[in-house]
Amino acid sequence: MMQQTMLRVKDPLRSLQFYTRILGLTLLQKIDFPSMRFTLYFLGYEDKSDIPADISERTAWTFSRRATLELTHNWGSESDQSLSYHNGNNQPQGFGHIGIAVPDVQAACEFFDKQGVTFVKKPDAGKVKGLAFIQDPDGYWIEIFSPDKMASIMSP
């Protein structure tokens, strides 16, 4: 099972607002590491009512979820004006993107547009039509696609 993908974030409040309010993920668990001065935020597409109240149960439950997003915040990074994280798409390239499945790409993009989300590619732009790429507050790319449309999009 692929359990998590980790992204470093500069401003956790801004990132949490983006991933929960804009993309609809749920904060599953926050874990502070005071001696090392960082915090982990685990997010996923889960029902809040399923999250166990007991911390030990919650931790085991969180780490048993599929495809969670782990946001890592190094304390003080939000105050460092010179800090920015490499999104993997600028040179030298590395990490590319995460993907979020939606029922209707066009409707999702209209919502993102109204929320002021930055687009890398809109559904009707570029060579591959029908999917989009947006950016999170740290510039990481997020592919937006509809599973029902992927067979036709991926056909040569």
Enzyme catalytic residues: 143
Report CA Rg, the chain: 17
Cα–Cα distances in Å, from 148 out to 12, 54, 65, 79, 105? 33, 38, 24, 43, 11
CA torsion 149-88-22-49 (nearest 10°) is 90
| Residue 11 tokens, joined | 């401003």
Residues whose CB falls within 8 Å of the CB of residue 118, separated by 6 or more in sequence, listed in order: 134, 135
Alpha-carbon distance of 33 to 80, in angstroms, equals 20
